[in-house]
Amino acid sequence: MEIQGRKVAVVGMGGVFPTCRDLDDFSDKLFSNKSLIREWDKALAYGKNIRSTVSGFVTEGEKDLEAIYSDLIPGYPEVYIDQLARIPNSNLATADLGSIWAMLASQDAIRMAGWNTMETESEVTGVVVGSGGGGHEVLRPAWHGFFELGVKTRLVGSHTVDRAMVYRDAANVSCLIRNKGVCESIGSACATGLGNIGYAYRLIKFGLQDRVVAGGVEGTSLETFIGFDAMHVLSRGFSAGESSRPFDMNRNGFVCSFGAGIVCLEEYGLAKARGANILGVIDSYFNNSDGDGDMFYPSFAGQRRLWKGLIGDSGFTPDVVKVHGTSTPVGDSIELLSVVDFLGSEKYHISAPKSQFGHMLGAAGAVEFVVALLMLREQKVLPCLNSEALNPELEAFQKSDNWDGPQVPLASFRDLLPQQSFGKEINSIACLNYGFGGTNSSILVSKDNS
């Protein structure tokens, strides 16, 4: 159970972001209304076998990493070299690309948090980091080498298991920082990033940990991209910068992207006592399942219950709602209507970060939580890029006898969706993320005004 009066502060953040050197570069580009999406050479190389060719991807070279490939198995990255010597070689040996990003982002977040070695290695310091999927760049050539080329098992890599296991990101971060508390990884599809942060919040709120390194990762992987392309859910037919267009009536799918977001959470009293720079305070976290048995279709009722769990009957309205906003035809409509159904259509604005960098899957919720912290810091609302025209007619599902939500078209809420960044007093932000299987997560984060 929650411990009365125990609060959770965010004291550090870091990440890996497409086309960006670091967090400050990321912030500058976002608030300059820039898109981080570009044509992906790896997708283009397969011609008409791949429908979509745009992504918010990150290469090894852009993060000063070099893959050392096997002489015996084509394409197998035996190890990654950190050209800036940020991560010891022993830790690199057990990591895939995404795990390296998680370690780099954790180092940045811990540095910002100002935790010393004793605090980091404490029994009350945990690690909770997850991903939607990963290890593909290691597994594909390893299995090809064994099954197709006939090499012996000892040649497929002695670290193939630990570089591709489900909780590799948390494990690698934990081994790097040597914490003695919790080390776990929660997977909940595209709600993974926010879900891991929410779980970390509960660990502190319930008194089980005093500090937690938390977040989500999605390492660049053509396999992941191909899987979604096969589902015909990726955006196509637009220029790279115009491909991600949440709520726009011409949207036709999301942009598959990659990155990492890590935050450091700390019990508020401890953070305050040591004079930490508090980036935000997590006021509440709530998650649920749709419960309708549908793996993919969004649930208005599930999202309505999500809002109810996050805010209850308080009547509170956040200054900004950071939406999931993927650019999928039905997903965006259901989400926008669920927001206005619960909050009304005044006193807040909606920000859709995926419009600027695409959908980072397991990293999405964590990177977008970092974005929310940046909005609190800068006191600016980030835009819904490319939301040029909202549907002036009712959605097809709104005409169904089973629909019990707002009976107004999306175009009625044009004023909630800025197309450019702008300054505004921001004291609180609600963050929303959803995933396959009907999983939903929400966090309310606010400025530290005490």
Model confidence over 189-229: pLDDT tens digits? 999 999 999 999 999 999 999 999 999 999 999 999 999 99
Is pTM, for the whole model, over 0.95?
Answer: yes
Task: pLDDT band for 132, please (50, 70, 90 cuts).
Answer: very high
Average pLDDT over residues 379-407: 97
Average pLDDT over residues 36-62: 97
What is the predicted pLDDT for the residue at 166? Answer: 93
* 324: annotated active-site residue: yes
Integer Rg of the chain from CA? 21
CA distances from 299 to 57, 75, 264 (A): 30, 42, 32
pLDDT tens track for 184-196:
999 999 999 999 9
Q: Answer whether 399's CB lies under 8 Å from 388's CB.
A: no
What is the predicted pLDDT for the residue at 5? Answer: 86
Report the C-alpha gap between 76 and 62 in whole angstroms. Answer: 20
* 136: annotated active-site residue: no
pLDDT tens track for 262-299:
999 999 999 999 999 999 999 999 999 999 999 999 99
What number of CA atoms fall less than 13 Å from residue 386's CA on the CB side? 28
Instruction: Label residue 273 exposed, middle or buried (CB < 10 Å: 0-12, 13-18, 19+).
Output: exposed
- pLDDT exceeds 90 at position 52: yes
Of the chain, the percentage scoring pLDDT greater than 90 comes to: 94
* 359: annotated active-site residue: yes
Report the C-alpha gap between 211 and 265 in whole angstroms. Answer: 6
Average pLDDT over residues 165-174: 96
What is the predicted pLDDT for the residue at 4? Answer: 85
Q: Answer whether 279's CB lies under 8 Å from 264's CB.
A: no
Average pLDDT over residues 441-446: 98
- pLDDT exceeds 80 at position 401: yes
Phi, psi for residue 246 in degrees, rounded to 5: -55, 135
Task: pLDDT band for 156, please (50, 70, 90 cuts).
Answer: confident
Options 324, 349, 384, 431, the catalytic residue = 324
- pLDDT exceeds 80 at position 1: no
Average pLDDT over residues 416-439: 98
Options 175, 256, 349, 359, the catalytic residue = 359
What is the predicted pLDDT for the residue at 157? Answer: 83
Task: pLDDT band for 449, please (50, 70, 90 cuts).
Answer: confident
- pLDDT exceeds 80 at position 399: yes
Average pLDDT over residues 356-361: 98
pLDDT tens track for 62-96:
999 999 999 989 999 999 999 999 999 999 999 99
- pLDDT exceeds 80 at position 60: yes
Q: Answer whether 392's CB lies under 8 Å from 411's CB.
A: yes
Task: pLDDT band for 436, please (50, 70, 90 cuts).
Answer: very high
What is the predicted pLDDT for the residue at 113? Answer: 98
